[in-house]
Amino acid sequence: MAFLFKSSAERGRVWGEAFARLAPDVPFRTWPDIGDAADIRYLAAWTVTRDLLHGLPNLEVLFSVGAGVDQLDLSQVPAPVKVVRMMEPGLTDGMVQYATFATLALHREMLDYRQAQADHRWAPRPLLPADGRRVGVMGLGNLGKAVLAALRPFGFPLRGWSRSGGTVEGVEIFAGADALPAFLSGCDILICLLPLTGDTRGILCRKSFHLLPRGAAIINVGRGGHLVEADLLAALDSGHLSGAVIDVLNTEPAAADHPFWSHPRILLTPHVASQTRDDSSAEVLIANIRRHQAGQTMQGQVDRTRGY
Ligand SMILES: NC(=O)c1ccc[n+]([C@@H]2O[C@H](COP(=O)([O-])OP(=O)(O)OC[C@H]3O[C@@H](n4cnc5c(N)ncnc54)[C@H](OP(=O)(O)O)[C@@H]3O)[C@@H](O)[C@H]2O)c1
């Protein structure tokens, strides 16, 4: 019963130490030195090849080292293998910080002040109180809910949208595709925290932008595949949207001539909104192995039919 690690060397060092301390009964192996492939019950990786997956006859769980599983081709993962995405406090903390920063940057019109500074213009603007700026979050999972909780004390009117709805204290909730237009119509700042699936690919598109109020701004911290980049440029250039904070792109890293690099209404960051933290993620992963061994559902276990 061994664990196979296939990710960065530094994370491997931290995780190897955590396994030695917390799970000495689970031998820790680092790809490509897998030893006897028949021993491997658990595999943690960002991406895996079909050959690797099918060369592990006793694999029980595939752990993604990131918050999503969209980088994996789930159709290549043998049916009995459980798939688990990363849900750990370091990832949540990073996302809360980034989404709060991006919301405040847009609310406090930092794109305009960035331009004014570049132009040497001293150009104060009236300050809109937070209760005049409606913020909406698409995706009410682990991260979406944490971001909403962090934004609440500022006084923004908050709304959230997800497949199944539910309740979140202090947040107006919209559920399902039919409710998307009503949700979007009340978002001055829209934050995308959806997983990338067949249903959500391209959801930030011309049609959605036109359902947002004129002057709205977007923050994409989901995946690059959520955004139709040409539609964002058109909506910004027409003035319908006022700005965007973009952390993820369809193709990363951005090409040298990508139009987002120099767009005055876009703040672009290189997929850094949050990152799996090596120490806290090791503990979460080992706790999940223990759950699995006890026949319990693991935290972050993916519903393979839904794709998230
Ligand atoms: N930029 C970065 O650095 C970074 C870092 C971490 C994560 N992320 C992204 O953030 C995403 C969200 O993470 P999470 O941990 O919060 O995920 P999660 O817990 O799985 O939550 C996903 C949420 O999205 C909703 N959803 C899924 N499909 C939908 C659809 N078709 N229509 C409406 N709602 C839908 C789900 O609705 P239900 O509640 O009804 O199931 C759920 O509320 C990840 O998948 C990843 O892509 C980005």
C-alpha 68 to ligand 1 mean position (Å): 8
Residue 45's Cβ-side half-sphere holds a number of Cα atoms within 13 Å equal to 21
- pLDDT score for 188: 99
Distance CA 211, CA 186 (A): 9
Tokens of 297: 């559902």
- How would you class 36 by CB atoms within 10 Å of its CB: exposed for 0-12, middle for 13-18, buried for 19 or more? exposed
**What whole-number distance in Å separates Cα of residue 261 and Cα of residue 21?**
45
Q: Distance between CA 58 and CA 74 in Å, rounded?
A: 17
Determine the distance separating the centroid of ligand 1 and the alpha carbon of 181, expressed in angstroms: 19
Question: How far does residue 190's CA lie from ligand 1's centre (Å)?
Answer: 14
Measured from the Cβ of residue 237, the count of other Cβ atoms closer than 10 Å reads 12
The predicted pLDDT at position 27 comes to 98
In ligand 1, the atom with minimum distance to the C-alpha of 306 is 28
Confidence category of residue 178, pLDDT binned at 50, 70, 90 = very high
Specify the pLDDT at position 67: 96
Nearest CA to 225 out of 206, 250, 207, 255 is that of: 250
Query: Of all residues in the chain, what percent carry a pLDDT higher than 90?
Result: 100
Confidence at residue 236, expressed as pLDDT on a 0 to 100 scale: 98
Q: Give the integer Cα–Cα distance in Å for 222 and 46.
A: 16
Residue 33, classed as helix, strand or coil, is coil
In the block, tokens 């213009």 appear at: 121
Pocket, ligand 1, Cβ cutoff 6 A:
67-68, 87, 91, 95, 139-144, 162-164, 193-197, 199-200, 221-223, 247-248, 271, 273-274, 308
Given this model, what pLDDT does residue 169 score? Answer: 97
Residue whose CA lies nearest to ligand 1 atom number 29: 163
Which letter does DSSP use for residue 245 in this model? E
Interacting residues of 289 by C-beta distance below 8 A, sequence separation 6+: 3, 23, 26, 42, 61
Burial class (CB in 10 A: 0-12, 13-18, 19+), 97: middle
The pLDDT score that the predictor gives to residue 12 is 97
Residue nearest to atom 32 of ligand 1 (CA): 163
Nearest to 278 by CA among 89, 34, 144, 22: 89
List the residue whose alpha carbon is closest to atom 22 of ligand 1.
Answer: 141
What is the pairing mode between strands 171-175 and 2-6?
unpaired
User: What would the pLDDT profile of 117-150 be if each residue is shown by its tens digit?
Assistant: 999 999 999 999 999 999 999 999 999 999 999 9
pLDDT of 11-43, one tens digit each?
999 999 999 999 999 999 999 999 999 999 999
The whole-number pLDDT of residue 195 equals 98
**d(Cα 176, Cα 162) in Å, to the nearest integer?**
6
What pTM value is reported for the model? 0.97
Q: What is the pLDDT of residue 242?
A: 98
Q: Percentage of the chain surpassing pLDDT 70?
A: 100
Beta carbons of 185 and 211 less than 8 angstroms apart: yes
Ligand 1: nearest atom to the Cα of 221: 1
What is the separation of C-alpha 255 from the centre of its chain, rounded to a whole number of angstroms? 22
1 DSSP 8-state letter:
-
Q: Which DSSP letter does residue 76 get?
A: G
pLDDT digits (tens, 9 = 90+) for 38-94: 999 999 999 999 999 999 999 999 999 999 999 999 999 999 999 999 999 999 999
Q: What is the pLDDT of residue 175?
A: 98
Question: 47: CA distance to ligand 1 center in Å?
Answer: 19
pLDDT band at 198 (very low <50, low <70, confident <90, very high): very high
Whole-number Å distance between alpha carbons of 257 and 57: 45
**Catalytic site positions:** 223, 271
Contact in structure between 193 and 66 (CB atoms under 8 Å)? no
Q: Cα 12 vs. chain centroid, distance in angstroms?
A: 23
Q: How confident is the model at residue 258 (pLDDT cuts 50, 70, 90)?
A: very high
- Whose Cα sits closest to atom 45 in ligand 1? 195
